[in-house]
Amino acid sequence: MSQRKPPILSIVAICCPLLIWGVFYFLATATARDFNERMFGRYYTLGILLMVGFYAAVVLGLVGLGLALGITARRHRETPSWLPWLALAANTVAPLAVLLWLAL
């Protein structure tokens, strides 16, 4: 009798794309503007590059974490069996949606 594995990794993987949207919504607030000014504003042009690099690292880290968790969930054969596939699909579609949103 095989033991059923709870879908913990799949659920955490599905949360990663939501956090990506959360980062972009945070960047649209006045609090983010004040935070970026305090952290990166004193470096002038280099500060802009540091800020873009920082947020790119955060977003790419979330994408990588979501994909890694989805693959790990698939290897652990979590149940229900469709949830790891949903996690992988969400972590591939969400970055594409963000890129389309930024392009428009």
Number of H helices and number of E strands within the chain? 4, 0
pTM of the model: 0.85
CB 67 within 8 A of CB 79: no
| Structure confidence by residue, pLDDT tens digits, 64-103 | 999 999 999 999 999 898 999 999 999 999 888 878 888 8
What percentage of the chain carries pLDDT values higher than 90? 74
DSSP 8-state code for residue 29: S
Q: Rounded to whole angstroms, how far apart are CA atoms 20 and 55?
A: 10
| Structure confidence by residue, pLDDT tens digits, 20-78 | 889 989 999 999 999 999 999 998 899 999 999 999 999 999 999 999 999 999 999 99
